[in-house]
Amino acid sequence: MAAVRFGLDTFGDITLGPDGQRVSDAQTIRDVVEQAALADEVGVDAIGVGEHHRRDFAISSPEIVLAAIASRTTRISLGTAVTVLSSDDPVRLYERFATLDAVSGGRAEVILGRGSFIESFPLFGFDLHDYEVLFEEKLDLFAQLRTERPVTWQGTTRAALDGADVFPKTENGLRAWVGVGGSPESVVRTARHGYGMMLAIIGGGAARFRPYVDLFHRSVSEFGHDALPVGTHSPGHIADTDDQAQAEAYPGLEALNNTIGRERGWPPYSRLRFQQELGADGALYVGSPATVARKIATTVKTLGLSRFDLKYANGTLGHDQMMRSIELYGTQVIPMVRDLLGE
């Protein structure tokens, strides 16, 4: 098995401070920079920050936060989780990430997605009736921009381009993935455009996603591309013991799931659901370093992954608890997983 890269993801979840009060958006963003600096120090391979435009999450401009992180780090890859391509302009987006790649010494990457929330569509003047065509056309244009040659392109969602060039040029290209929720159409589309595939596994066991991985590899081959990477993104939290990790993680997960659930008609989050997701057939990676390492190793083997990203920020979980989780992930979990994989 080729060496696997291990990352951490955050949406800039708004946390509670030691006094139980909501932390400001500004302090949350500063905390994310501190968390990423620690991740770099303890050997984590990648940090991803998501884009949202709602009260629960502080990060709406990932590349600005990543530029701040670049100034505090030396080796960690700097990416998104995800960038909402549908409501952005591919040309401006590419130029921003090419700039980030320059200031970070070639460490930038981008994970493109439609986003699981829709606030950015009315905010930036896009019609939700165009949900599919916006993503399809912009994904195609972004793929052409990655060649860093003049682009001629025409679609229905933005002005046509005729031999347009974009700047700055990167030194070694821009790494790009597409975040996929698990539909066959999304898998094939990702392969067709030549992107890596990042599966968002936020419910259920990893094994049920194996058919999507197989479909992706077949599609990549049929479209004539070289082999492309597959990764997963799943929530979790690490503490010194299983009981401590579960006690710390549950309140934040409950608060986040219930907030979103009220909008989407989900039943209230429960201890039973939490316990189910902790098991082999669930998507939560919560526990002691040994517990989390075993589950990650099983997922990597089951899906043949090139990358595993742990979403370490979950709802109102506090900054100090996240810092300890990051420390354990880098110093204990990742080495344990590498041993279990025989790397």
pLDDT digits (tens, 9 = 90+) for 287-304: 999 999 999 999 999 999
- Percent of the chain exceeding pLDDT 90 equals 98
Write the CB contacts of 76 (distance below 8 Å, at least 6 apart in sequence): 36, 39, 40, 44, 45, 46, 47, 69, 107
Q: Which structural domain range is residue 259 located in?
A: 5-341
Count CB-CB contacts under 10 A for residue 278: 21
pLDDT score at 2: 64
Please give the Cα distance from 7 to 233 (Å, whole number): 9
Tell which phi-psi region holds residue 230, choosing left (phi > 0), alpha (psi between -120 and 50) or beta: beta
**pLDDT(116) > 90:** no
Please give the Cα distance from 198 to 136 (Å, whole number): 17
Give the CA distances from residue 13 to residues 80, 88, 224, in Å, rounded to whole numbers and listed in that order. 14, 22, 40
Give the CA distances from residue 30 to residues 34, 59, 72, 208, in Å, rounded to whole numbers and listed in that order. 7, 11, 12, 37
Confidence class for position 72, pLDDT limits 50, 70, 90: very high
**Cβ(247)–Cβ(213) below 8 Å:** no
Q: What is the mean pLDDT of residues 31-39?
A: 98
Coil, strand or helix at 191: helix
Q: What is the mean pLDDT of residues 114-140?
A: 94
Q: What is the mean pLDDT of residues 40-52?
A: 98
**pLDDT(1) > 60:** no
Chain mean pLDDT for the chain: 96
Please give the Cα distance from 154 to 133 (Å, whole number): 13
pLDDT score at 343: 72
Coil, strand or helix at 332: helix
**pLDDT(115) > 90:** no
Classify the C-alpha dihedral 68-49-134-259 as positive or negative: negative
CATH at 248: 3.20.20.30
Please give the Cα distance from 45 to 77 (Å, whole number): 6
Please give the tally of structural domains in the chain: 1
Helices of type H across the chain: 25-41, 62-70, 90-103, 120-123, 131-145, 184-193, 210-222, 242-264, 271-278, 289-303, 319-328, 334-341
pLDDT score at 264: 92
Terminal-to-terminal C-alpha distance of the chain: 8
Q: What is the mean pLDDT of residues 86-109?
A: 98
The DSSP code for 151 is E
List phi, psi (to 5°) of 164: -75, 140
